[in-house]
């Protein structure tokens, strides 16, 4: 059983792993658009096991993020964290369900509901980005992270610009640029969480 004092370290490591898989998910498109050559994807839509591992790792990270930082913020910051972490968990569940339905890993009777799984992905993404931006604002007003106080707000803005202004049916270099910055920002947030001191040491001080 994981010690409660180690929740930030385990959660941070899981969040980094999940976002690393998220980053390399579009490796072939990034290589093709930025380097003008193809490179095999590390993870594709058919790799359901890796998708489940990645999304489960993200859920662990979101839970740890809320568990630690909700103790340090006021009402505004806590509500922002609820949106960020709750939206992220909804996004993860929706993503696994949607990709599983497309890869025929679900019973045929579930296929008609695939569009609802995708809707959960869109709602989860929007709520998660809104929460991250609001948390970034709260963190700038009352810093609670160990360093890189600007990272939550900048990461949320990169995600909003990439997914809501430059996403479409065709993957473009602009979309991949902002998507990469978004993934790196989330990885950085996991790194900050991983470096947090044991909780018992903080509560005693």
Between CA 8 and CA 199 the distance in angstroms is 8
pTM of the model: 0.87
Q: How confident is the model at residue 100 (pLDDT cuts 50, 70, 90)?
A: confident
Q: Which residues contact 64 (CB under 8 A, 6 or more apart)?
A: 7, 8, 10, 11, 12, 14, 15, 193
- Whether the pLDDT of residue 87 is over 90: the answer is yes
Q: What are the backbone angles phi and psi of residue 52, rounded to the nearest 5°?
A: -65, -45
Q: Is the dihedral of CA 185, 188, 190, 193 positive or negative?
A: negative
Q: How confident is the model at residue 204 (pLDDT cuts 50, 70, 90)?
A: very low
**Average pLDDT over all residues of the chain:** 86
- Whether the pLDDT of residue 96 is over 50: the answer is yes
Per-residue model confidence as pLDDT tens digits over 137-194: 999 999 999 899 999 999 999 999 999 998 877 778 888 899 999 999 999 999 999 9
Burial of 139 (0-12, 13-18, 19+ CB in 10 A): buried
Structure confidence at residue 163 (pLDDT): 93
Contact 92, 124 (CB under 8 A): yes
Structure confidence at residue 46 (pLDDT): 67
Mean pLDDT calculated for residue range 75-89? 97
Grouping H, G, I as helix, E, B as strand and the rest as coil, residue 5 is: helix
Instruction: Report which of residues 30 and 168 the model is more confident about.
Output: 168
Structure confidence at residue 44 (pLDDT): 60
Nearest to 26 by CA among 14, 41, 37, 15: 41
170-to-52, 140, 144, 175 alpha-carbon distances in Å: 25, 36, 39, 9
């Amino acid at each position: 059983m994981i010690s409660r004092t180690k929740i930030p370290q385990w959660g941070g490591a899981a969040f980094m792993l999940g976002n690393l898989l998220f980053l390399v998910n579009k490796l072939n498109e990034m290589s093709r658009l930025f380097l003008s050559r193809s490179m095999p994807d590390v993870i594709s839509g058919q790799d359901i096991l890796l998708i489940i591992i990645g999304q489960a790792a993200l859920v662990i990270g979101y839970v740890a993020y809320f568990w630690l930082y909700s103790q340090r913020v006021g009402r505004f910051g806590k509500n922002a964290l609820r949106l960020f972490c709750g939206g992220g968990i909804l996004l993860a569940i929706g993503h696994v369900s949607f990709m599983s339905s497309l890869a025929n890993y679900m019973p045929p009777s579930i296929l008609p509901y695939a569009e609802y799984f995708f809707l959960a992905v869109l709602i989860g993404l929007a709520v998660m980005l809104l929460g991250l931006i609001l948390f970034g604002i709260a963190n700038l007003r009352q810093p609670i992270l160990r360093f890189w106080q600007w990272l939550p707000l900048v990461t949320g803005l990169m995600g909003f610009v990439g997914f809501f202004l430059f996403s479409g049916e065709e993957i473009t270099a602009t979309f991949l640029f902002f998507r990469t910055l978004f993934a790196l920002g989330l990885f950085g947030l996991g790194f900050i969480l991983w470096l947090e001191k044991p909780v018992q040491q903080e509560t005693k001080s």
